[in-house]
Structure 1
Amino acid sequence: MHVWDEAKSILFDTETIGTINGVSGYMEKFSVFIGVALGELILGHSDNLSKSLQSKVLTAAQGQHQAELTVKTLESLRNDDDASFNLFLDAVLFKAEQCDVDPPVLPRKRIRPMRYDEGSEPTEYKTPKDMYQVSYFEALDLVIEAIKKRFDQPGYQIYQNLQELLMKCVTRQCYDLEFQNVCKFYGSDIKPTCLKVQHQLLHSAFREKPIDDIDIQSVFLYIRSQG
């Protein structure tokens, strides 16, 4: 919060100062403060995954592995008998006290307009902790499900098989399973015998190159260079 006070002391633009005051006022509310902290926690993991997936040398299989690690990490924040939430809440409460943020309270009960009444009673919480714990779990569940959905698409598995087929071919590994899966998927669109010959040529092109220096990007570049 002191950063905003310092900013206001050197600014002369009343509109900007007004904006800072508005944001500062919102951040003094615990509901906003904990929301920002939760966003930082979750988006830190998703942003790290996003940066990893943008690597040009990352294969589809490696990308899926990174996604699975991220999901496991997020699930560990979700499935350990509330211990992770308690640690998270304690850290937020400590920081909130340092920043002069209002203490957590339950929102006042409000009568819903008839047009929004679905016939069910709104959820009532006994303590602010109960309310924020529900939000904590819901946020984690949404992100976990989104990541799983991203890598559970019909075309992703065949894309992964194609990349694994190429990488195993050039790094001198057995690729029979991937070869069978690709041929089965494309059916009559490809000729397995011709594909086998092309893979042998690809294998020869990378024979002299150290395996540790081979990545999927270099394989793609070579294939494109052959027209």
Structure 2
Amino acid sequence: MSGPVFDIKSLISEEAQVPPRRNLSTEAADALRDLILLEKLAPGTPVPERDVAAGLGISRTPLKEALRILENEGLIEYGPTRRPRVANPSIEELSQYISVLGALEALAGETACKLATDEEIIAIGAINSRLLGLPRAVTDLEFFRLDMEFHGAIVTAARNAPLGQTHRQYNARLWRARFMSSRQSDRRANTLAEHCAIVEALSARDSRRTANALRNHLKSTIRNISRICESSESQDSVST
């Protein structure tokens, strides 16, 4: 097959190009991750290594490492010919991963109630206050990153290294799914309300209520992702 599958350079702004002073593989993975989250690289899209490397201003060696990072996160997969493409997991796969992530975050919340310092709990509440105070014009990506900072702070406050490592692995695989859920305008109000319930329970150091609030928060993510997938399938059937 001759020529690029798509014009990768048109998707990558000059700001997204990898600065030479930083880790090339990590920066390339960050740039591609954002393109995948924003669906500028849609699920199932081939990722031609030569064109992507040229678009990012790097060689193919660090790009291959960046693709391995994203493969470990479940964002990139390889077909039978070992050519990379954007992963397109099924709703069943996503639901299974989110169920596990919900259990991990529930455990983190329960443990944080016992081990977190008052300062850490105040800091978690402050992150939520920043979310509540974001302007209406905030970008989906800005909101999502702060949302993930909130969840990460709770896991960190649990002071459990194996739990933190496992949570990072599962959360990485669900990065795009959680972003899809977060960017829905009707979902955002629910997210903030659920966060407030989590902060209230955590501030009271009520481990059972905190765990349930976090578990229910992730269950609502599953429901939202299911609605998004069903809506997408309906649109596809209408268009065909």
TM-score, normalising length: structure 2 = 0.23
Larger Rg: 1
TM-score, normalising length: structure 1 = 0.24
